[in-house]
């Protein structure tokens, strides 16, 4: 199916464990983004990628690692999960930087709980 898919939809993990959230898009969009959504904070940018092998930090990057070896995939890794990383994580893509024409397209999100 065309679109942007995230997996898993739900994840419970323990403090200190490593966890990876997956994001896959089929449009060959150059730009991909990871956001977290928390009550009272709205969506905040964690990392973004302009192309394969090019990534950069957003507003709240601490505790997260990203990679982009292929254009269509943009995994987000929490190296040592903490309770403050309990959140809903959204992946998004766009055709160009901060797309000035088409805007963003979002995945359905991953709800992560760290216990």
Partner 1 sequence: KQEVTQIPAALSVPEGENLVLNCSFTDSAIYNLQWFRQDPGKGLTSLLLIQSSQREQTSGRLNASLDKSSGRSTLYIAASQPGDSATYLCAVNTGNQFYFGTGTSLTVIP
62 makes contact with partner 1 (CB under 8 A): no
40 makes contact with partner 1 (CB under 8 A): yes
Which residue is associated with the tokens 């963003």? Answer: 104
* Binding-residue total with partner 1 (CB under 8 A): 25
Among 8, 41, 53, 54, binds partner 1 (CB under 8 A): 41
Least Å distance between CB 48 and partner 1? 7
Least Å distance between CB 104 and partner 1? 7
Which residue is associated with the tokens 């766009």? Answer: 94
The string of DSSP letters for 25-89 reads ESS--SEEEEEEEETTTEEEEEEEEEETTEEEE-S--TTEEE--SSTTB--EEESS--GGG-EEE
Interface stretch with partner 1, choices 15-23, 43-51, 62-70, 79-87 (CB under 8 A): 43-51
Return the bridge partners of 100, or none.
none
Residues that bind partner 1 in the complex, under the rule CB under 8 A: 35, 40-45, 48, 58-59, 90, 92, 98-109, 111
């Amino acid at each position: 199916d065309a679109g942007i898919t995230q997996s898993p939809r739900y994840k419970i993990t323990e403090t200190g464990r490593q966890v990876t959230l997956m994001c896959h898009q089929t449009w060959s969009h150059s730009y991909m983004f990871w956001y977290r959504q928390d009550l009272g904070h709205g969506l905040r940018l964690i990392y973004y990628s302009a192309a394969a092998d090019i990534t950069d930090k957003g507003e709240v990057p601490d505790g997260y690692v990203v990679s982009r070896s292929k254009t269509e995939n943009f995994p987000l890794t929490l190296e040592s999960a903490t309770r403050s990383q309990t959140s809903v994580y959204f992946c998004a893509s766009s055709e160009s930087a901060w797309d000035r024409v088409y805007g963003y397209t979002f995945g359905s999100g991953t709800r992560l709980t760290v216990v």
